[in-house]
A and B are shown apart, each in its own frame.
Chain A
Amino acid sequence: MRERLGIQLQETQLADKLQVGEVLALFRSFYRQAHGVDEVLALVELEEKRKARVVTLSGGQKQRLAVACALVSKPDLLFLDEPTTGLDPQSRRQLWDIIRRFRAAGGTVLLTTHYMEEAERLCDRVAIMDHGKVIALGTPRELIASLGAEHVIEFTLADGAASEVVTDAVRGLNGVTAVRPAPAGCAGGAISLTVKELHRTLPALLTLLQQRQVELASLTTHHATLDDVFVALTGRQLRDT
């Protein structure tokens, strides 16, 4: 089992004083069959850091080394625990490429993440967990479709507007499948609507607001994403826990 599993744990800190190549030589010695050090360095694009000590690596490079330690055994299953948490966009994309290449070569990846965008881009199947329980499972497309709507409208009202009244009113608009009211006691909080057809609902919404003489402070729309699925399911913004 362990021979076939490659693992990267979020909290592992590799030995600072060792060189990148030495760490990989150590990890590969545990397995009956493994990549050569140079091979696996090429997989994670760390060839030029072979002689660098772990302590001198950047966050993204350390994370790629951790993934290299997981890849060195030529695993069938790669388990990655929040591989891109805390990384800059550049490093995140590099890791995504590594994961995609592993997938393309026929490997299976089990990945945990707080970034819905990451799950949407990388995963075939997504399980959303809340308080240790799986509350939704499916392909990213299925999960988004489960909202019953393709688009999200978010708007905030100008100061003094009675947001409760507006919230109740917009529920009745044609094509609105869900309304998430502004957080209680938070003036200027966003109200968000999931809608099927943006081009029909949006004019109706604006007309409604005009009739009621309510001023808009902001209004944005976007295609529904896994983020919206998560928020709809858990009833709150994504918490970074």
Chain B
Amino acid sequence: MIREHPLYQLALSRMREFYREPEAVFWVFGFPIVLAFALGLAFRNTGPGKLQIGVARGPGDSALAATLDASPRLVATVLDTSTARLRLRTGRIALLAIPGDPVIYRYDSTRTESGLARLAVDDVVQRARGRKDQVAVRDERAAAPGSRYIDFLIPGLLGMNLLGSGIWGVGFSVVQARQRKLLKRYMATPMRKSHYLLSFILSRLVFLIVEVVALVGFGWLLFGVAVRGSFASLAGITVLGSFSFAGLGLLVASRAKTIEGVSGLMNLVMLPMWILSGTFFSYSRFPDAMIPFVKALPLTALNDALRAVMIDGASVTTVGAPLAVVVAWGAVSFVIALQIFRWR
């Protein structure tokens, strides 16, 4: 009977231990959704916000301020020189306009917002003096689902979540069992080692379904984030990713004797990937020399594959290269973990 199979019983114990730990449930299921919600709200596409412009006190300041303030995109305030410098330095105003002839724009050209302010302020100033458009133009705002930040974010969060729950879920359980001498106790029974390790992968598979459905469902319901590719492709990719990270989790936990020790190792593995692997922002912002290294990370590869399927509607066959990276990490980690695993 399947109920009496050791693999079934081990996987069941694993799942029970997990869902009876409310903190763990929150970090795995709740936290990504909270994060998606908060970031989705913060970066929702409402068009560019109003730019804060300072006008230096001096002859003609109020006229200039009134002109700028009339523009729907600008908020102008007349400021003393010292206050204005401080606000400019701390980024509370995007640009300081000093009235006179010529009008002087003081701003930090490396800040995107200041660059925008320079264009907008100059446009208003020149128009006020009678500049006319030479070519007729029309604005079309393209905030269609697929190009928004939230569409970029949800697949990234999904990847990050698979990484976190794989490494935490496997790593903590293994080290805890080792620390409590439970592994040693199991070794005194005829239990097969392969059953023990496979039980982690099996229980991960069950939770994977919940994780994916929760996060993708949330994105779809609240932000209309669609899955453009097939659900089968999404399922296949997440399963491979989950296996891979479970392998990585086993590797991280293969020797550690204490929870403190393994926590450090987990953070060492996960933190760089959270930053580098394009979870919250595109990794193309990193210098070109770093890109090949970044692309070789399993989370980068998984995120790329997830985005290709969810955003671009690609099929699973076109993301072979990143998936190969994902699988290779998992397989190599699993094999090494088996070799060096400390059962006592």
Contacts and interface: CB of A to CB of B under 8 A. Distances in A.
Contacts of B185: 7, 9, 12, 69
Interface in B45-66: none
B137 interface: no
Interface in B178-231: 180-182, 184-186, 188-191
B18 to A, nearest CB: 9
B181 A18 contact: no
A83 to B, nearest CB: 14
A29 interface: yes
B194 to A, nearest CB: 13
Given A17-B17, A30-B6, A2 B190 contact: yes
A148 B12 CA distance: 59
B13 interface: yes
A22 B14 CA distance: 11
B9 A5 contact: no
The 10 closest A-B pairs by CB, nearest first: A13-B180, A29-B9, A17-B20, A30-B189, A29-B6, A12-B185, A30-B191, A7-B188, A2-B190, A11-B181
B133 to A, nearest CB: 70
Interface string A28-61: 1111100000000000000000000100000000
Given A11-B181, A29-B5, A31-B190, 5 more contacts: A2-B190, A13-B182, A17-B17, A22-B13, A31-B189
A13 B177 CA distance: 9
Interface string B162-183: 0000000000000001001110
Contacts of A32: 190
Contacts of B9: 25-26, 29
Nearest to B17: A17
B263 to A, nearest CB: 19
A75 B76 CA distance: 86
Given A2-B190, A3-B190, A27-B189, A9 B184 contact: yes
Contacts of B6: 29-30
Interface residues of B, number: 23
Given A2-B188, A25-B9, A14 B21 contact: no
B10 interface: yes
Nearest to A26: B9
A17 B13 CA distance: 9
A15 B182 contact: yes
A81 B324 CA distance: 49
Contacts, number: 62
B8 interface: yes
Residue of A7, A29, A32 with most chain B CB atoms under a 10 A cut-off: A29
Contacts of A30: 6, 186, 189-191
Interface in B10-56: 10, 12-13, 16-17, 20-21
Interface string A158-196: 000000000000000000000000000000000000000
Nearest to B191: A30
Given A29-B5, A31-B189, A18 B182 contact: no
Nearest to B192: A30
Nearest to B187: A2
A12 B182 contact: yes
A73 B180 contact: no
Contacts of A14: 180, 182
B260 interface: no
Contacts of A7: 185, 188
Nearest to B20: A17
B4 interface: yes
Nearest to B186: A30
Contacts of A17: 16-17, 20-21
